[in-house]
Chain A
Amino acid sequence: MTLNSVVETDFPKEFVEEMQKTEDVLPEKIDANPENVEKGLAKLVLTLIELIRKLLEKQAMRRVEADSLSEEEIERVGETLMKLENKMKELKQIFGLKDEELNLNLGPLGDLM
């Protein structure tokens, strides 16, 4: 069996490693097993919460960068973000979900986060 297409690299192992990290060759099946349904729902909800949390964090960072927060505001935002982060860690643990699992593929738009 001979193919015309060539794959040239001096570092095949490294590329295999990186490509396997993003390996999503087959579409994910929606499994209607009851435990998985609950987990699937939790995953969806937590993904959305995580999105909002990250957006809030980013927004806060932009304001810190622009120096547009007062000392008091920095205190409050810090406390809120810290609580949010800890809460999310807790929820992820409860549902046995990893960071990489909380993402959605939007096709041509790439991943949600």
Chain B
Amino acid sequence: MHNVAVKSKEVTLLEILDRILNKGVVVSGDIVISVADVDLIYLGLKVLLSSVETMEQLRGAPIVGPMQEPT
């Protein structure tokens, strides 16, 4: 029962991610500080499902690409 619940969360998350990361209104330009300018840490689905605790630990881990602070 627990396994099904966990796996269902994965699939729901994937469905949401596919939509909010790729689709909908996408605008860019100087006034927008969004994905194109800032590297978001996306470590893949496996990590997204870990507990908050693990996320805290991983924050010290290598980052995918340089992070830029918007000025």
Q: How many interface contacts (CB-CB < 8 Å) are there between A and B? A: 44
Interface residues of B: mostly helix, strand, loop or mixed? helix
A31 CA to B65 CA in the complex, in Å?
8
Whether B21 and A16, one on each chain, are in contact in the complex, defined by CB atoms closer than 8 angstroms, is: no
* Residue A9 lies at the interface, judged by CB distance under 8 Å to chain B: yes
- The yes or no answer to B12 lying at the interface (CB within 8 A) is yes
- What's the Cα separation between A23 and B46 when bound, in Å? 12
A23 to B35, CA, bound (A): 17
Name the one of B8, B44, B65 contacting A7, with C-beta atoms under 8 angstroms.
Answer: B8
A-binding residues in B (CB < 8 A):
4, 7-8, 10-12, 14-18, 21-22, 35-36, 39-40, 42, 44-45, 65
